[in-house]
Amino acid sequence: MLAFMIGFGVDIGGSGIKGAPVDLVTGEFTADRVRIKTPQPSTPRAVIKTVAQVVAAFYPDKPPPSLGITMPSVIHGGVARSAANIHSSWLNYPVADAFAQALGYEVSVLNDADAAGIAELHYGAAKGQPGLVIMTTLGTGIGSAMIYDGVLIPNAELGHMEIGGRHAEKRAAARVKTQKRLSWATYARRLQRFYSTLEFLFSPDLFVVGGGISKDAAKFLPRLRLETIIVPAQLRNQAGIVGAAWYASSRTTSDKS
């Protein structure tokens, strides 16, 4: 059960901070999203100020019903416990408390890939999927979400799994394909190693592949040889916002019970 049928999500990324109100029945935005460039350096203070601007674009003088915020970090007990692709000053930063203090109300903070996984589970490629879903986002890094029978196991950092002595994301993130100008065949070989390892370790029921590159899924997914069904994400770049909005609303309900 969700507390509200409209939620608000904010997605903090390396280049943009995006937010929109979300209809939690359909998973669609109820208004065009607002995007403001991520301030540089992306220190907590500067980012928090920008998030406040994004929210104020829709809620100038009252708080949203609930607010969910994604970060590209491990978020444990409201505190950032990693800072792989963001400013290092986020490490060990009390993110949830700092947002609550700046905004004047409680917020829910979660990992960006966890939010994307939640969105796909409720509204997209993993809708109604029982068992273990592993969502992976291929972007600047590799994000991951593990969801078992609809319940998120938060903060799985599968992109940092060491394969052949290197973090998987250093070889197989979408950024690496672009930077090294890898062909689809070469990139698919790197992905094959990553997904085969995940398959061996976790025996999932479904892989969902998100991140901007998933729009080209037809160029690399058919090259992969896996036992597990692997499908592109459906929510594309809306997934973070939608998942954050759903998560915040679900927490508001359980906090009250």
- The residue (of 22 and 115) whose beta carbon lies closer to ligand BGC is 115
Secondary structure (DSSP) of 79-125: EE---SSS-GGGTT--HHHHHHHHHSS--EEEEHHHHHHHHHHHHST
Q: How far is the CB of 84 from ligand BGC (least distance, A)?
A: 3
Residues 70, 7 contacting (CB under 8 angstroms): no
Query: CB of residue 82 vs ligand BGC: minimum separation in angstroms?
Result: 5
**Count of beta carbons in the 10 Å neighbourhood of residue 29:** 17
Asked if the bond preceding 41 is cis, omega within 30° of 0, the reply is yes
Q: CA triplet 16, 153, 147: central angle to 5 degrees?
A: 85
Q: Minimal distance in Å, beta carbon 239 to ligand BGC?
A: 12
113's tokens: 């890939």
Look up residue 15 and give its amino acid.
S
Q: Return the number of the residue (2 or 110) whose C-beta is nearest ligand BGC.
A: 110
Q: Which amino acid is at 247?
A: Y
Q: Please state, in angstroms and rounded to a whole number, the distance separating the CA atoms of residues 134 and 199.
A: 10
Minimal distance in Å, beta carbon 253 to ligand BGC? Answer: 25
Q: Which is nearer to ligand BGC, 2 or 239 (CB)?
A: 239
**CA 159 and chain centroid, separation:** 13
Nearer to ligand BGC, 120 or 157 (CB): 157
* CB of residue 65 to ligand BGC, shortest distance in Å: 26
Task: Please give the residue ranges that form the binding site for ligand BGC (CB under 6 A).
Answer: 72-74, 82, 84-85, 111-113, 137, 139, 141, 143, 157, 159-160, 169
Nearest to 36 by CA among 57, 67, 22: 57
Residue that is written with structure tokens 């809620």 in the block: 59
Q: What is the DSSP letter of 159?
A: G
Reduce the DSSP state of residue 18 to 3 states and report it: strand
Minimum Å gap between C-beta 4 and ligand BGC is 26
Residue 204 or 243 having the CB closest to ligand BGC: 243
Smallest separation, CB 227 to ligand BGC (Å): 25
User: Toward ligand BGC, which CB reaches closer, 120 or 169?
Assistant: 169
Is residue 224 within 8 Å of residue 195, measured between CB atoms?
yes
Nearest to 145 by CA among 154, 207, 167: 154
Residue 42 tokens, joined: 């992306």
